[in-house]
Amino acid sequence: MSAFLERIDMSALLDDVERVRRIDRDGMCAILAKFPEHCETAINLAKDLQIPQRVRISNSRVLRYGVPKQIVIAGMGGSAIGGNLLKDWLRASLLIPVEVCRGYTLPAYVDEETLVFATSYSGNTEETLSCLLEAVERQCMVIGISSNGVLQEFSEKLGLPLVAIPGGYPPRSAVPYIFFSLVAALDALGILPSMGGEIEEALAVLKEVREEITPERPLSDNLAKKIAIGLQGIIPLISGFGFYGSVARRMKTQFNENSKTPTTIELFPELRHNTVVGWARQRNLTKKFGVVLIRDKGEPPEIRKMIEVTKERIFNDGAAAVVEIWSRGRGKLARMLSTLYVGDFASVYLGILYGVNPTPTESIDELKKHLITVDIEGTLRRKLARLLED
């Protein structure tokens, strides 16, 4: 069968809703179809968050809550990407610096005037738990976000404020809950800037986009399916600019986990200072990539020119495919989430084309088995005991 005929066959697969459901047997498409409602639920759940004035951990250690000088969001994987989205969304309006910490230790500057979010959907992420206890040790303002697990247990024992979010989803599907929990906490602390109805607009735009990208929408009128067809058999390279950096990162990880395919990201304007050189001559290598450009009608003139010239002179000839995702909406949040949503569905459809169930992540589970000999949880529990007795 020729490559052309094979692609026709694959397009027919994506429009066969029953076949899609048989491959997607754990229901990732169904979860994504409820993305707007998950956002609404998250907003309502987080409204009841109460921030204490202080939390006494022991006789010598008290956490005092107020307006922080800096914010650190500690998390890994899907539990961390909400922090990246928050940082990019509020970058031009929040005067308090925000950093996302992926790892076992906090930055050296973190102190009692730092607000630290410990975010772990499962509640058992060892890197996040390590940062949680370190933040308590440094007497930071600490807030937990989790559905269950050790993080919830530790938060309750320490008396820390916790946003309890619904469990039962793959962690990467919990982004609405993580993100809007962060937003609600900033609002409860009185430091969330007025965003002029951006959240309401974003929810409306997400519902509009959903109608255009779910499995029932045919390939001929479904951008997410078209992107998947275009990326079949090649390596996705996701490219954005400015506040779309977090969206690009989200797309990269979604193609990794849902499509089970290697993926990379390159961002404007940085890529014109290095990436383009790597694409100049090695066409036998660059033809293995399919470029996904995140676009915005409000692109600054210098960025738009840069994207168009790079697309024309580098990507169109060098890549196997070039596709664009144009944002929707007026506010920054709608524009970010609308492109993210298309990428989420495209990653699932690409997994369907490869015949793989998008939900399981066997490679992660297998790696954990080989790391289980290191007793991180025991070390953390001993540290917790010392903090409570100090």
Structure tokens belonging to residue 49: 């968050």
Residues 6 or more apart whose CB falls under 8 angstroms from that of 141 comprise: 63, 64, 65, 66, 68, 112, 114, 115, 116
DSSP letter string, 265-296: EEEETGGGGTHHHHTSS-HHHHTTEEEEEEE-
Kindly state the helix (H) or strand (E) to which residue 241 belongs, with its residue range: strand 235-241
Instruction: Please report, as a single letter, which amino acid is at residue 126.
Output: E
Structure tokens belonging to residue 2: 């020729």
CA distances (Å), origin 376, targets 92, 127, 151, 190, 369: 38, 9, 14, 36, 13
329 touches 205 (CB < 8 A): yes
Cα separation of 153 and 225, whole Å?
42
Q: Which residues are known to be catalytic?
A: 257, 273, 368
Q: What is the DSSP letter of 66?
A: S
How many whole angstroms from its chain centre is CA 195?
21
Kindly state the helix (H) or strand (E) to which residue 260 belongs, with its residue range: none
158 touches 55 (CB < 8 A): yes
Q: What is the DSSP letter of 220?
A: G
How many CB atoms are closer than 10 A to CB 103?
Answer: 12
